[in-house]
């Protein structure tokens, strides 16, 4: 394509390129560089190209006249119509794509911004898309972008990250205990997948970093479900008992009244406790595969907890009285679960057995002591996180103790 300034009318030569072979792109680009009302001369040699150009100009609202030049070449002179500018009139500004250091996205996200990339200019008149989470302080975390990048870099492939062929042979009672613990872990991870997934679809794309963190959180949990399931069946075991009390506890997470409360109950308290549990299993698991799984999943859970903490820190900084709502959420969940059994006996016994490694009384005593210590460690962790969120020490202790006996 040659572009000249003959007779002061910009001219392009599309040579033998048909308009339906890419020629339209050259015409569009040349016209876009001109103000409305200006003319563009187009020359070409493709058969009947002028007919297609005329049809296209009619659709686009450009005037066009064609003539055969002295050298036999067909020329079309297109006068640019004013229509393309219409889309920019009254268009909506959606903020900055990349946030500067300390910069936050918009305080509220306009439904009319729809699915546009943050930073895009949105044509007026488009659909209003209702996202339930469209106020920044309801979901924002200052470190969301960093946590997303860490999560993206830390994704692991269950196939290669774990040595599934590592040799081990466990007594049937111990293998059965592993199967029971895995059954329990899977249903907890189902909750940890479903809860953020429900919120994810409600996050306005203005808050891209949070959307990305939640998406990877879901991917993490999907992977955890896979590896726990795979370990469960590795020696031919089938999933074991899922109790009403355990499910009731997880169900309350799905009923949390808003994103912040759900993130608090699931992330700060539940997954926070789970890190301690997974670390316990990493230390006490009887086989190398389970130990590897627990090490990798605990690493992912730590990121989830970090996001939950960062979000609650933001929320409480802008809305200090929200602390009362969090207290209420813990108390309400405790009341709802008061009549349930808490951690089922099978899981408790399985944890004791894994820590014991044997059924003789001395070993069981050791195992029992280890699980008691696990519970204390979990509660201490919860208390520490509550203190970091600004709860007074006594209140932090009280809320840490009110947390579900089901751990998550």
Partner 1 sequence: MGAVAYAPKVVTIWEGFKAWFAQQGFAFDYVLYSNYEAQVEAQFDGTLHLAWNSPLAWVRADRMARSRGQSVQAVAMRNTDCNLRSVIVVRADSPIQSEADLRGRTLGVGAIDSPQATLLPLHHLRQAGLTGGEDFTVRRFDVLSGKHGDHIGGERDAAKALIAGEVDASCMIDGNHLAFGLDGTLPAGATRIIARTEPYDHCNFTTSPDAPQAAIDRFVELLLSMQWDDPQVRPLLELEGLKKWKPGRTEFYPALATAVDEQGFYGPDGSILRADYRY
Applying CB under 8 A, the residues found at the interface with partner 1 are 18-21, 24, 47-48, 51-52, 54-56, 58-61, 81-83, 85-87, 89-90, 123-125
Cβ closest to partner 1, residue 59 vs residue 324: 59
Q: In the block, which residue shows the tokens 């590896």?
A: 227
CB of 228 to partner 1, least distance (A): 47
> Closest approach of Cβ 21 to partner 1, in Å?
4
Q: CB of 52: closest distance to partner 1 in angstroms?
A: 4
Kindly state the smallest distance separating residue 76's Cβ from partner 1, in Å. 14
Of the pair 24, 116, the CB lying nearest partner 1 is at: 24
Pick the closer one to partner 1 by CB: 20 or 331: 20
Task: Count how many residues are written for the chain.
Answer: 408
Q: At what angle do helices 272-284 and 345-356 cross, to 10 degrees?
A: 40
**For residues 83 and 168, which CB has a smaller minimum distance to partner 1 in the complex?**
83
Q: Closer to partner 1 at the Cβ: 122 or 133?
A: 122
Rounded to whole angstroms, the Cα distance separating 253 from 229 reads 22
Q: Which is nearer to partner 1, 115 or 359 (CB)?
A: 115
Closer by beta carbon to partner 1, 82 or else 288? 82
Q: Using only the alpha carbons of the chain, give its radius of gyration.
A: 31
CA 292 to chain centre: 25
Rounded to 5°, angle at Cα 218 from 191 and 176: 50
Tokens of 297: 């999943």
Smaller CB distance to partner 1: residue 15 or 159?
A: 15
CB contact at 8 A, 170 and 235 = yes
Shortest Å, Cβ 64 to partner 1: 10
Closest CB to partner 1 among residues 54, 327: 54
CB 120, CB 71: distance < 8 Å? no
């Amino acid at each position: 394509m040659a572009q000249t300034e003959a007779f002061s009318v910009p001219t392009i030569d599309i040579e033998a390129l048909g308009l339906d072979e890419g020629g339209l792109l050259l015409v569009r680009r040349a016209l876009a560089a001109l103000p409305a009302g200006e003319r563009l001369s187009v020359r070409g040699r493709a058969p009947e190209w002028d007919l297609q150009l005329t049809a296209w100009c009619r659709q686009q609202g450009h005037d066009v006249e064609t003539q055969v030049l002295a050298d036999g070449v067909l020329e079309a002179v297109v006068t640019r119509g004013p229509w393309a500018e219409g889309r920019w009139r009254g268009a909506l500004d959606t903020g900055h794509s990349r946030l500067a250091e300390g910069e936050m996205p918009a305080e509220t996200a306009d439904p009319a911004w729809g699915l546009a990339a943050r930073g895009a200019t949105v044509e007026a008149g488009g659909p209003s898309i209702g996202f339930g989470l469209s106020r920044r302080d309801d979901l924002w975390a200052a470190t969301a972008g960093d946590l997303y990048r860490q999560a993206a870099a830390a994704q692991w492939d269950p196939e290669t990250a774990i040595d599934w062929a590592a040799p081990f042979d466990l007594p049937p009672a111990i293998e059965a205990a592993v199967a029971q613990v895995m059954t329990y872990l899977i249903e907890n991870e189902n909750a940890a997948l479903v809860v953020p997934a429900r919120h994810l679809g409600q996050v306005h794309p203005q808050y891209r970093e949070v959307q990305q963190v939640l998406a990877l959180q879901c991917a993490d949990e999907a992977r955890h479900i896979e590896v726990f399931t795979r370990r469960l069946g590795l020696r031919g075991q089938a999933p074991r008992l899922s109790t009403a009390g355990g499910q009731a506890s997880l169900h309350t997470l799905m009923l949390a009244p808003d994103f912040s409360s759900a993130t608090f109950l699931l992330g700060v308290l539940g997954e926070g406790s789970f890190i301690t549990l997974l670390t316990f299993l990493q230390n006490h698991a009887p086989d190398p595969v389970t130990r590897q799984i627990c090490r990798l999943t605990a690493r992912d859970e730590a990121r989830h907890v970090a996001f939950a903490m960062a979000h609650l820190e933001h929320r409480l900084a802008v809305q200090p009285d929200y602390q009362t709502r969090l207290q209420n959420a813990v108390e309400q969940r405790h009341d709802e679960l008061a009549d349930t059994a808490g951690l089922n006996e099978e899981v408790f016994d399985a944890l004791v057995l894994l820590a014991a490694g044997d059924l003789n009384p001395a070993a069981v005593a050791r195992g029992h002591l280890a699980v008691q210590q696990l519970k204390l460690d979990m509660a201490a962790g919860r208390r520490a996180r509550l203190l970091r969120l600004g709860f007074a020490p006594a209140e932090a202790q009280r809320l840490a103790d009110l947390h579900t006996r089901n751990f998550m």
